[in-house]
Amino acid sequence: MEKIVILTGAGISAESGLRTFRDAGGLWEGYRIEEVATPEAFARDPALVHDFYNMRRAAAAAARPNAAHAALARLEAAGRHEVLIVTQNVDDLHERAGSVHVIHMHGSLAGALCAACGYRWAAPAVMAPQDPCPACARPATRPDIVWFGEMPYQMDRIWQALRQADLFVSIGTSGNVYPAAAFVQDAARAGARTLELNLEPSLGARDFDEARIGPASRIVPDWVDTLLRA
Ligand code: BV8
């Protein structure tokens, strides 16, 4: 059975109404994303960073999966390919569309983490710096998100999947952020075919065998239909 590894970024959730980093100009409240999504920013102003994620958590809860998320779930459910989604997104739209094999390499808005004892639990809608950890009671709670400078989650499992992939597909990502931006090279080196589905060529466009340009809600279902008709 063909193994397909699919990397998704903010662009797949754009038509669900969730802002991407580029379109937002990477700015929030006058801060660059790289300035807000860091451990240093959290140490300096935990209330500001919690507010940033409280806003993102509310937006994700109000959003609906779009036809691109649904098409990827349909591809997995068809059972003719081994499908793994590695998402950079922290929303849960893949899961809500029905995808099962999903890795959130940059964490998830649905998760909370205690910076003091490492305990993880389901994040409440609104988090605040003085919230006590449910396990150790210390006020050290943070969103379970991978910030710039932190180790992305499940990298060993991801690199193994890239080594074994027959096809690597990148959807809705600009190729700005590493190590995700290098996955296409890792997959190609291991012999996979590579395909980019994006609104515009990404920074890594030249590394792909093939590219289809357009909005994800159109080009992802078209691609899945072609695959399932073959
Ligand atoms: C790490 C969670 C060590 C937070 C995020 C210099 C060189 C190489 C690396 C570095 C470097 N300097 C610093 C680094 C490391 C750094 C990095 O890459 N920095 C960048 C800025 C240079 N990386 C890290 O720190 C990572 N950790 O390196 O640890 C290590 C290394 C290897 C192995 C182990 C350990 C951690 C990075 C994670 C940061 N956290 N997210 C949050 O979400 O709030 S990153 C965040 O930004 C997202 O998760 C995502 O990854 C990134 C945004 O990227 P995209 O998803 O691509 O979104 P973007 O807006 O950029 O693009 C949208 C695309 O969609 C566009 O192309 C657009 O055209 C397209 N689009 C829009 N609409 C549509 C569409 N496509 C289709 N249809 C549409 N409708």
Sketch the domain layout of the chain as residue ranges.
2-18+65-106+150-229, 19-62+110-145
CB count, 10 Å around CB of 205? 15
**pLDDT tier at 22, thresholds 50, 70, 90:** confident
What proportion of the chain, given as a percentage, has pLDDT over 90?
92
**pLDDT tier at 12, thresholds 50, 70, 90:** very high
Exactly one of 50, 69, 94, 106 is catalytic; name it: 106
Question: In this predicted structure, what is the pLDDT of residue 3?
Answer: 98
- Ligand 1 mutation target, pool 6, 55, 148, 220, most atoms within 8 A of CB: 148
What proportion of the chain, given as a percentage, has pLDDT over 70?
99
Q: Hey, whose CA ends up nearest to atom 34 of ligand 1?
A: 151
Mean pLDDT of 104-109: 98
Mean pLDDT of 122-147: 97
**pLDDT tier at 29, thresholds 50, 70, 90:** confident
Q: Where are the alpha helices (DSSP H) in the chain?
A: 33-36, 39-44, 46-62, 67-78, 93-97, 155-164, 183-189, 216-229
Question: In this predicted structure, what is the pLDDT of residue 9?
Answer: 98
End-to-end CA distance of the chain: 14
Is 69 part of the annotated catalytic residue set?
no
Question: In this predicted structure, what is the pLDDT of residue 23?
Answer: 73
What is the number of the ligand 1 atom nearest to the C-alpha of 106?
2
Q: Tell me the fold of 2-18+65-106+150-229.
A: Rossmann fold (3.40.50)
Mean pLDDT of 49-56: 95
- Ligand 1 mutation target, pool 178, 202, 220, most atoms within 8 A of CB: 178
Q: Hey, whose CA ends up nearest to atom 22 of ligand 1?
A: 177
Q: Which of 29-38, 86-95, 140-149, 210-219 has the lowest mean pLDDT?
A: 29-38
Contact 91, 63 (CB under 8 A): yes
Contact 146, 61 (CB under 8 A): no
**pLDDT tier at 59, thresholds 50, 70, 90:** very high
Mean pLDDT of 98-120: 98
What is the number of the ligand 1 atom nearest to the C-alpha of 53?
44
154: left (phi over 0), alpha (psi -120 to 50) or beta: left
Task: Look up the CATH architecture of domain 19-62+110-145.
Answer: 2-Layer Sandwich (3.30)
Average pLDDT, the chain: 96
Q: Which of 32-41, 94-103, 112-121 has the lowest mean pLDDT?
A: 32-41
Question: In this predicted structure, what is the pLDDT of residue 25?
Answer: 67
The ligand 1 site (C-beta within 6 Å) comprises 9-11, 14-15, 20-22, 34, 37, 88, 90, 106, 145-152, 155, 172-174, 176-180, 198-200, 202, 215-216
Contact 81, 90 (CB under 8 A): no
Mean pLDDT of 13-40: 85
